[in-house]
Chains A and B, each alone.
Chain A
Amino acid sequence: MSSKIRILVPVKRVIDAALKPRINKAGTGVESKGVKFSMNPFDDIAVEEAVKIKSEHKAAVESIHAVTIGSSKAQDILRVALAKGVDTSSLVDVGDAEVEPLQVSKILKKVQELKDSNLIILGKQAIDDDSNQTGQMLAGLLGWPQATNASKVKINDDLTVEVEREVDGGVEVVKASLPLIISTDLRLNEPKFVTLPKMMKAKKKPLEVLKTDALGIVIEERLETLKLEEPPARKAGVRVSNVDELIEKLKELKAI
């Protein structure tokens, strides 16, 4: 293995984080028709961090490759990643199939082998299913060390990596050598806007499409969603005019 860093950034296309998701009429999933999609915000942070590492360690980083698993529409977020400074990208086209974290990890393991990556930076979770599993499962499958929920990443000259994690009561610093998996937390960085010239250049950057059978993977669902329900609506508050009335109300509700 050469002594250069080859970064892999897995990214996911999700319902825009600023929108309120709605359950579909059948109660089987979240309504995705006519809804705006964007890159998972944690993955956006992962891309930003990879680009930052490359610009700060030009000699040490050989390449950044972004990968997404989804339908052909997911190419949009790869283009954004390319515009932000990722060098090459691939779409693992699974159509509209739902892919569970274990399957995602298995696919990513294949992509890692193809690209010979030795540093994987990914969001700690996707905001659609909030599983927070892929990074950990992938580390298990590859037998690599993992630094989850990173709030600061430092690459040393000897290519060891120090990662700060915010934990209850303080900051934990973990250190490992490559290969390594880092999952990103919100505090790691603040993604910047992509400028138009970069967006235009990104059109010429490589975007390959891979099929799961070519990777030797069969998508299977292990989880079954029985039903999705909205939480019960919150009842409206009442105004009270004095303390006595407040206490009376609280007693009525058996709150005191």
Chain B
Amino acid sequence: MSFKLLARRFYSSKIVKLTSESYPNIKRDSKYGKITPQTIEFFQNLLGSSSTITDNDLLSSYNEDQMRKYKGQSQLCLKPKTTEQVSQILKYCNEFKLAVVPQGGNTGLVGGSIPVFDEIIISLSNLNKIRSFDQVSGILKVDAGVVLETADSYLAEQGYIFPLDLGAKGSCHIGGNVATNAGGLRLLRYGSLHGSVLGLEVVLPDGTILNSMNSLRKDNTGYDLKQLFIGSEGTIGIITGVSILCPSRPKAVNIAFLGLDSYEAVQKTFQRAKNELCEILSAFEFMDKESQLQTLKFLKTSHPLAEDGEEFPDYNFYVLIETSGSNKEHDDFKLETFLESVMEDELVLNGVVSQDESQLKTLWNWREGISEASTFDGGVYKYDVSLPLPVMYDLVNETRTRLQDADLISIDDSTKPVVDVVGYGHIGDGNLHLNVCVREYNKNVEKVLEPFIYKWIQNKNGSISAEHGLGFQKKNYIGYSKSEIEIKMIKDLKNHYDPNGILNPYKYV
């Protein structure tokens, strides 16, 4: 009996519901054309049959997202190898009003790269060459489909570092990172992509290739058009090339992992870290106890702060501090002095510092692993929000209370849909990740969470999407963060450059 139950649960978690079934109110727009045998023949001639995917088994990985929350019904995935091919594809699709969805590494968290209905998927994964790197200026030029980690490893050999780092680095594409304006773990130190991207190569919906792949740090001639595409989520053009400024790779990196008692202490420690670590501070991440407990289930090893004999330490909050600099002795001394002073003042109760590279990776795992660990029980509702620091963590507590009041949450009772509410994120950027870990996706849970969370954020003058973007999930909620005038301007731009609306429909605005 129990075996049967288990088998059924396994089975049910295997099947992802079609987005069109989960959201029956959204209908396919009849203005879009449908794929015909002639369409497929055209693309086979253009790209070759191995880059024109029509097999259902092969298509399924392009139709589903990594959270197993969204599932499209695309019957065609194209994998162009050149910018020229992307241009030909869009020209054709625009002519026949065929809707398309551009897709990078498919690591998005808001369903932005997944078709809603039968949109043609344009995967950039075959456009994956590193074009050039300038040793003196540190300017890297790459195709959009280059995997972030590949670019970073390449830069490491030259003594440089990619100014962006995030948990999905092993799969995500640089083009996708730029199109979604990804934030990530190094933003505190190196700033957002709006600053580090120097130029883009973009194919507009009618097939026009817009090339601004120059390597100028300063250029005050006219509107800075590339900014329009950074964070546009594939709605007004497909990015095919990126030119980006990369800083020198720090020679000395230290990680401290600390245990604290309260969110108050987390904020104070952040303030002190900014003051005392100053230019070597490169990341300041916070995690609550619940997020670490969830990660424990997933990593299945003892927590770095666990003392002899205990599996899990007893602190309410955890902080990961990364320092990066050019002189190890200098950094070690600074970090040590800082840690001693915050411990003496009892802001920090306990902590560890990485002694070698493998410990450094282990410590990062306890932060980066949270995202994957959140889906451990079946799925996750993810909210990625910007809020003023003092009230940031209140959202986690209030969300949990709401779920408790609705009797939907329990860590042990598997008949309740929600397992736990966990909070973590980039304190340095005022960015909270609120994850509601669930056993199954459930309309009742959704009704408790939305629009409550968005209204709460609006009240505190925050943003409903700090770095994940709008995509499909937050399309209807942009009004909580942007004014009517702003939304109108966004829509005007979209309609002007994509009058047929073929690029990534049903999303964004």
Q: Which residues of A contact B (CB under 8 A)?
A: 16-19, 34, 36, 38-39, 41, 55, 80, 192-197, 199-200
Question: What's the least CB distance linking B475 to chain A, in Å?
Answer: 41
- Contacts A195-B305, A196-B339 given; indicate if A38 touches B351 (C-beta within 8 A): no
Residues of chain B at interface, number, CB under 8 A: 24
Give the residues in chain A near B218, CB-CB below 8 Å: none
Segment among B82-90, B352-360, B388-396, B476-484 that sits at the interface with chain A: B352-360
Q: Are B350's CB and A38's CB within 8 A?
A: no
User: Would you give 9 A-B contacts (Cβ < 8 Å), ordered by A?
Assistant: A16-B356, A17-B356, A18-B356, A34-B251, A38-B356, A80-B355, A193-B355, A194-B355, A197-B350
Q: Which residues of B contact A (CB under 8 A)?
A: 251-252, 256-258, 304-305, 307-308, 328, 339-340, 343, 348, 350-353, 355-359, 361
Bound-state Cα–Cα, A195 to B304, Å: 9
Q: Which 7 A-B pairs have the closest CB atoms?
A: A18-B357, A38-B356, A193-B352, A196-B351, A16-B357, A193-B304, A18-B358
Give the residues in chain A near B308, CB-CB below 8 Å: 55, 192
Bound-state Cα–Cα, A206 to B439, Å: 54
Question: What's the least CB distance linking B299 to chain A, in Å?
Answer: 14
Question: What's the least CB distance linking A202 to chain B, in Å?
Answer: 12
Question: What's the least CB distance linking A210 to chain B, in Å?
Answer: 23
Bound-state Cα–Cα, A192 to B308, Å: 9
Give the residues in chain A near B348, CB-CB below 8 Å: 196
Give the residues in chain A near B252, CB-CB below 8 Å: 36
Give the residues in chain B near A41, CB-CB below 8 Å: 356
Q: Are B357's CB and A17's CB within 8 A?
A: yes
- Contacts A193-B304, A196-B352, A197-B350 given; indicate if A38 touches B343 (C-beta within 8 A): no
Indicate which residue in B305, B328, B355 contacts A39 across the interface (CB closer than 8 Å).
Answer: B355
Indicate which residue in B258, B328, B352, B358 contacts A194 across the interface (CB closer than 8 Å).
Answer: B352
Instruction: With CB as the reference atom, state the residue of chain B lying closest to A33.
Output: B251
Indicate which residue in B251, B256, B304, B355 contacts A38 across the interface (CB closer than 8 Å).
Answer: B355
Give the residues in chain B near A19, CB-CB below 8 Å: 357
Question: What's the least CB distance linking A143 to chain B, in Å?
Answer: 35
Q: Are A196's CB and B350's CB within 8 A?
A: yes
Bound-state Cα–Cα, A38 to B251, Å: 15
Q: Are A196's CB and B304's CB within 8 A?
A: no
Bound-state Cα–Cα, A55 to B257, Å: 26
Q: Are A18's CB and B355's CB within 8 A?
A: no
Bound-state Cα–Cα, A18 to B231, Å: 36
Give the residues in chain A near B357, CB-CB below 8 Å: 16-19, 36, 38
* Majority SS at the chain B contact face: mixed
Instruction: With CB as the reference atom, state the residue of chain B lying closest to A199.
Output: B353
Give the residues in chain A near B340, CB-CB below 8 Å: 200
Instruction: With CB as the reference atom, state the residue of chain B lying closest to A193.
Output: B352
Give the residues in chain B near A34, CB-CB below 8 Å: 251
Bound-state Cα–Cα, A94 to B380, Å: 57
Give the residues in chain A near B257, CB-CB below 8 Å: 193
Besides A17-B356, A18-B358, A36-B356, 8 more A-B contacts (Cβ < 8 Å) are A18-B361, A193-B352, A193-B359, A194-B352, A196-B352, A196-B353, A197-B343, A200-B343
Q: Are A196's CB and B356's CB within 8 A?
A: no
- Contacts A18-B361, A34-B251 given; indicate if A195 touches B351 (C-beta within 8 A): yes
Question: What's the least CB distance linking A100 to chain B, in Å?
Answer: 25
Give the residues in chain A near B343, CB-CB below 8 Å: 196-197, 200
Give the residues in chain B near A194, CB-CB below 8 Å: 352-353, 355
Give the residues in chain B near A38, CB-CB below 8 Å: 355-357
Give the residues in chain A near B355, CB-CB below 8 Å: 38-39, 80, 193-194
- Most chain A CB within 10 A, of B305, B343, B356, is at B356
Question: What's the least CB distance linking A238 to chain B, in Å?
Answer: 15
Give the residues in chain B near A18, CB-CB below 8 Å: 356-358, 361
Question: What's the least CB distance linking B399 to chain A, in Å?
Answer: 32
Q: Are B361's CB and A195's CB within 8 A?
A: no
Bound-state Cα–Cα, A200 to B340, Å: 8
Give the residues in chain A near B251, CB-CB below 8 Å: 34
Instruction: With CB as the reference atom, state the residue of chain A lying closest to B359.
Output: A193
Question: What's the least CB distance linking B319 to chain A, in Å?
Answer: 12
Give the residues in chain B near A39, CB-CB below 8 Å: 355-356
Bound-state Cα–Cα, A55 to B343, Å: 26
Question: What's the least CB distance linking A50 to chain B, in Å?
Answer: 15
Indicate which residue in A16, A36, A195, A200 contacts B352 across the interface (CB closer than 8 Å).
Answer: A195
Bound-state Cα–Cα, A195 to B256, Å: 10
Bound-state Cα–Cα, A38 to B339, Å: 21
Question: What's the least CB distance linking A52 to chain B, in Å?
Answer: 10
Question: What's the least CB distance linking A109 to chain B, in Å?
Answer: 29
Question: What's the least CB distance linking A127 to chain B, in Å?
Answer: 11
Give the residues in chain A near B256, CB-CB below 8 Å: 196
Question: What's the least CB distance linking B332 to chain A, in Å?
Answer: 8
Instruction: With CB as the reference atom, state the residue of chain A lying closest to B362.
Output: A193
Question: What's the least CB distance linking A125 to chain B, in Å?
Answer: 17
Bound-state Cα–Cα, A189 to B288, Å: 30
Question: What's the least CB distance linking B134 to chain A, in Å?
Answer: 22
Bound-state Cα–Cα, A210 to B328, Å: 25
Bound-state Cα–Cα, A194 to B356, Å: 12
Question: What's the least CB distance linking A89 to chain B, in Å?
Answer: 16
Bound-state Cα–Cα, A66 to B351, Å: 24
Q: Are A195's CB and B356's CB within 8 A?
A: no
Instruction: With CB as the reference atom, state the residue of chain B lying closest to A38.
Output: B356
Question: What's the least CB distance linking B336 to chain A, in Å?
Answer: 8
Instruction: With CB as the reference atom, state the residue of chain B lying closest to A198.
Output: B352
Instruction: With CB as the reference atom, state the residue of chain A lying closest to B357.
Output: A18
Instruction: With CB as the reference atom, state the residue of chain A lying closest to B313.
Output: A195
Give the residues in chain A near B359, CB-CB below 8 Å: 193
Give the residues in chain A near B258, CB-CB below 8 Å: 196
Bound-state Cα–Cα, A80 to B361, Å: 18
Bound-state Cα–Cα, A55 to B308, Å: 11
Give the residues in chain B near A195, CB-CB below 8 Å: 305, 307, 350-352
Instruction: With CB as the reference atom, state the residue of chain B lying closest to A196.
Output: B351
Bound-state Cα–Cα, A197 to B353, Å: 11
Bound-state Cα–Cα, A136 to B409, Å: 60
Instruction: With CB as the reference atom, state the residue of chain B lying closest to A84.
Output: B355
Bound-state Cα–Cα, A193 to B348, Å: 17
Instruction: With CB as the reference atom, state the residue of chain B lying closest to A14.
Output: B356
Give the residues in chain B near A192, CB-CB below 8 Å: 308
Bound-state Cα–Cα, A25 to B258, Å: 41
Instruction: With CB as the reference atom, state the residue of chain A lying closest to B257.
Output: A193
Bound-state Cα–Cα, A199 to B256, Å: 12
Q: Are B358's CB and A17's CB within 8 A?
A: yes
